[in-house]
Amino acid sequence: MSFNDEFELLLRARYPLIYIPTQEEERVETAIAHSAKQQGNRSLYIWDFVDGYQGNPNDAGFGRRNPLQALEFVEKLPATVSAIFVLRDFHRFLEDVSVARKLRNLARLLKSQPKNLVILSPQITIPEDLGEVLTVLEFPLPHIPEIQTELERLFSATGHILDPRLLDEVARSCQGLSMERIRRVLAKAIATHGNFQPEDVELILEEKRQTIRQTQILDFYPAAEKISDIGGLDNLKDWLLRRGGAFSERARQYGLPHPRGLLLVGIQGTGKSLTAKAIAHHWHLPLLRLDVGRLFAGLVGESESRTRQMIQLAEALAPCVLWIDEIDKAFAGLDGRGDAGTTSRVFGTFITWLAEKTSPVFVVATANNIQALPPEMLRRGRFDEIFFVGLPSQEERRAIFAVHLSRLRPHNLQAYDLDRLAYETPDFSGAEIEQILVEAMHIGFSQNRDFTTEDVLEAASQMIPLARTAQDQIQLLHDWAANGRVRLASRQSSLSDRIQQL
């Protein structure tokens, strides 16, 4: 259901107090005005703290700098008058006892009158005593058709007509931006070149990165890693490669749903984060990184608001990859937290979205401790698949050494004994292999020569891998995976090798 349809339904159902959280004040007021016209030409009154009521000359300025008087104005109009009252930034006054009491009184009164009061706010901050009388209605960022219409209007006003393909590319690049930001960045491009050039799409992407940075919830993460940069994990790579075209229109026509996501569980340093980056690069999708800790804020209701904002932004940027690193740390010990249920509500909102989302947001979540994850997270339907990423087998270690040495010494790879390196480094993770190569380079550099296979082995002999320092925890992980509760990212032999070594 679109915003206009849902808003008009609330008007017809006589919901007295409607709360719309949005940064796009001008755009939402245009939508409200359209709905007011559709609902029998209702009168529209708009109030703000500085100028009071606007639009009607007889009431211009009424309630200026007086929010309580602004609410009393609603009672001044005859009971039979159909009207919508829009109050800008009114969330700032909801903690006032007289304003809160007046709103609750109006909620009773307006049930029998064709009047609705709409509060516009850039964020959701609703006191507990008003939670029952206020109805929150989300206002989405502009969709592709709306963006295309605005682009055509802007370009025709400047006398430029874009090629349909470029217009479609620009519209998709603008997803996730407010309409005001879209207008600004296009004006910047036109002011730079006199018209819009294909290379100006980069300006839009930079504006999008700026928008995401300002939310302080998501990061626009550059992804240059390739599937070929992952050593081993053949089952996982096969699974990903089969879904390479799953976001295409051809896949929709075939009847395929959008892929939902992956949960990667396993030992630290085994390539889970690298896989998330490689997925985005291979599928040519933007990579958004979510730090779940940023969702939690001090004010009541703000954490839930941030969660909804994250979901709205990710869906507006779809198709995209949403990478959630170490999700187990965010929701560990869910029932025992003394935060008045904030974590439980955030978790509930998040997993409900995971189960019900229809947008092409591919979620890649990583976890090191499967026992810390709530059981609801592991239920089928949240993710397409759950993979266990264990320590690499000897064959996989050889592939990991080959990947790193091909990058570090592309013209001298044959000088290194990959088979010996793989054999001599049991229990080493991919991250630890990368680190011993760095240490070997330090050894060679300090002696004014290139590093050798012997240097790598010396570096390995000085490092104690996590598999030995945290042997009990890793054994538990392998036992859990061996019970058939999860799909293996590597070939079956990899897991059996690890269990025998441990």
Domain of 110, CATH number, reads 3.40.50.300
Residue 282 covered by a domain: yes
Which two structure tokens, joined as six digits, stand for 404? 């790193």
Q: How far is CA 153 from CA 56, 150, 157, 252, in A?
A: 29, 5, 6, 30
C-alpha 229/C-alpha 307 separation (Å) is 33
Q: What is the CATH number of the domain that holds 449?
A: 1.10.8
110, 16 contact by CB (below 8 A): yes
Residue 500 covered by a domain: no
325 and 452 in a single domain? The answer is: no
151 and 253 in a single domain? The answer is: no
Q: According to DSSP H, which parts of 358-470 are helical?
A: 375-378, 394-408, 418-423, 430-446, 453-462, 466-469
Residue 233 covered by a domain: yes
356, 311 contact by CB (below 8 A): no
201 and 116 in a single domain? The answer is: no
125 and 197 in a single domain? The answer is: no
Residue 439 covered by a domain: yes
Residue 328 covered by a domain: yes
Residue 278 covered by a domain: yes
Residue 471 covered by a domain: no
419 and 404 in a single domain? The answer is: yes
Axis crossing angle, helix 179-193 with helix 201-215, rounded to the nearest 10 = 140
Residues 6+ apart with CB under 8 A from 93: 67, 99
44 and 151 in a single domain? The answer is: no
Residues spanned by the domain of 152: 144-215
245 and 287 in a single domain? The answer is: yes
Residue 7 covered by a domain: yes
Q: Domain count for the chain, please give it.
A: 4
Going by the DSSP 8-state scheme, the letter that residue 233 receives in this structure is -
Look at residues 79, 109, 136 and tell me which one is the last residue of a structural domain.
136
361, 318 contact by CB (below 8 A): yes
Which two structure tokens, joined as six digits, stand for 387? 């993979």
Question: pLDDT by residue for the chain (502 residues), tens digit each?
Answer: 789 999 999 999 999 999 999 989 999 999 999 999 999 889 999 999 999 998 777 788 899 999 999 999 999 899 999 999 999 999 999 999 999 999 999 999 999 999 999 999 988 888 989 999 999 999 988 888 899 899 888 888 877 777 888 888 788 788 878 899 899 888 888 888 777 888 888 888 788 777 777 777 888 887 778 888 888 888 998 999 888 888 777 888 898 888 999 999 888 888 888 898 888 888 878 889 988 877 876 555 677 778 888 888 888 778 889 999 888 887 765 655 555 577 888 888 888 999 888 888 999 999 888 777 888 888 878 899 999 888 888 998 999 999 999 999 989 889 999 999 999 998 898 899 999 999 999 999 999 999 999 999 999 999 988 888 888 877 777 777 777 778 888 875 444 454 444 4
113 and 132 in a single domain? The answer is: yes
201 and 268 in a single domain? The answer is: no
First to last CA, the chain: 55
Look at residues 117, 136, 155 and tell me which one is the last residue of a structural domain.
136
